[in-house]
Amino acid sequence: MPDNENAYEVEYAKQLDKQDQLASYRKEFYVKEDRIYLDGNSLGLLSKRAETTVLQLLDSWKNYGIEGWTEGDNPWFYLSETIGEKIAPLVGGNPDEVIVTGSTTVNLHQLVATFYEPDSKRTKILADELNFPSDIYALQSQIKLKGFEPSEHLVQVRSKDGHTLHEEDIINEMKDDVALIVLPSVLYRSGQILNMKRLTAEAHKRNILIGFDLCHSIGSIPHELSKWGVDFAFWCNYKHLNGGPGGVGGLYVNKKHFGKHPGLSGWFSSKKDKQFDMEHVLTPAEHAGAFQMGTPHVLSIAPLIGSLAIFEEAGIENIRKKSLKMTQYLMDLIDYELSDFGFVIRNPKEEDKRGGHIYIEHPEAARICKALKAKNIIPDFRKPNGVRLAPVALYNTYEEVWSSVQILKTIMEEELYKKFKNERGVVA
């Protein structure tokens, strides 16, 4: 941002919007003009194309019945593979290394069941203390299933500041007794990006397999999983990819692991041309499809067909460029307008370490989030005192960023947050 006060006026924000090459995509989404939605890192907004493809899949059910598995524009039997191919560029994978299936936690269970093979020397899983709880629950479960105690065999890298991780600390824990590493690509609270390329190289130097949770990075930042040699990854599609609430997840398995029997086998793990032979010995698919289990959730996949068409047009590099510019603008405005009110920016400020949202802390965070919602600004509260704000490149504007900070300033100046209890709701 230019070093002059005019840069903090609304006209500057409007000028940025006029120059925005992605501005036309805003009209693709159902955006309420009287509301500023800054929670796309929790649930992305519905696009009109996603709505259309849901209706198209419903229509195929209506018109084809069971023949929809092999007929129509998007045959259901091949849908997980077809959409996996479309997602592959967003994770930097080959088309056959990606499959759309399950959910984040189901896919993590599958991948850990497959790749966690403790022996007499290597029995531990390396994770971190800042990861989303469900990942830790799954890792604890898998360790128990192998007959070990999570308190002894799950190693969680400590954070020095409670917000970020030092990669050197992670590498230092890559010891001879570690069998598997599972880490987030982007920390869900602070938005810190971990250097996946470096961590993968360091893990492989020590003959340790490594995988990443991409929930807070897919659709927000570019990846090169195959180039980096990452062993596996998993994610949800309802945040930055706008795939709909509770929508189907996805996973990546590096082709060097093709042929490995899935740890959790199921009906759709099968090679397609063998599946209906109904044999009681599984012949797994020869690609990432082997790591599916149950029947694809066709109607939950449907929104992705439309959503991914937008990403293909807009380009993840362009999305990332605008995202960085918007989060920098937001941080600059917070520093300029809110310096007297006790807010602390906890996300990394460096571009190569900052994901698609910013994370600020304040002792009255829960109240402040409620006050923002009362003013039609949708943030995200994280216990105990964190506020996440995610200006999304495809549908948020710079003027919305500017307005949000001005409204937040008014809330603080007039102490409007004191009308609310400083405690989270049932869903936060």
3-state DSSP assignment of residue 74: coil
First to last CA, the chain: 32
Residue 238 assigned as binding residue: yes
Is 78 known to sit in a ligand binding site? no
104 is in an annotated binding site: yes
Residue ranges of E strands in 102-188: 124-128, 154-157, 178-184
Does 132 show up as a binding residue in the annotation?
Answer: yes
Query: Is 169 annotated as ligand-binding?
Result: no
Q: Is 135 annotated as a binding residue?
A: yes
* Cβ proximity of 283 and 134 under 8 Å: no
Tell whether residue 295 is among the known ligand binding residues.
yes
> Does a cis peptide bond (omega within 30 degrees of 0) precede residue 75?
no
- Known binding residue 101? Answer is no
- For the chain, give the longest Cα–Cα distance: 72
Write the CB contacts of 280 (distance below 8 Å, at least 6 apart in sequence): none
What is the C-alpha separation between 153 and 150, in angstroms, rounded?
Answer: 5
Q: Helix and strand tally (H, E) in the chain? A: 13, 13
Per-residue CA distances from 300 to 50, 76, 224, 237 (Å): 11, 12, 26, 10
- With b for 16 or more beta-carbon neighbours within 10 A and e for fewer, the 99-133 pattern comes to bbbbbbbbbbbbbbbbbbebeeebbbbbbbebbbe
Find out whether 134 is annotated in a ligand binding site.
yes
Closest CA to 225 of 213, 239, 240, 236: 213
Please identify which residue in the block is written with the tokens 């987030």: 184
Residue 417 marked ligand-binding:
no
Rounded to 5°, angle at Cα 5 from 4 and 7: 80
Give every CB contact of residue 24 below 8 A, 6+ residues apart in sequence.
none
With left for phi above 0 and alpha for psi between -120 and 50, is residue 92 left, alpha or beta?
left
Q: State yes or no: 267 annotated in a binding site.
A: yes
Provide CB contacts within 8 A for 39, sequence distance 6+. 378, 379, 380, 388, 390
Binding site feature residues for pyridoxal 5'-phosphate: 104-105, 132-135, 213, 216, 238, 267, 295
Binding site feature residues: 104-105, 132-135, 213, 216, 238, 267, 295
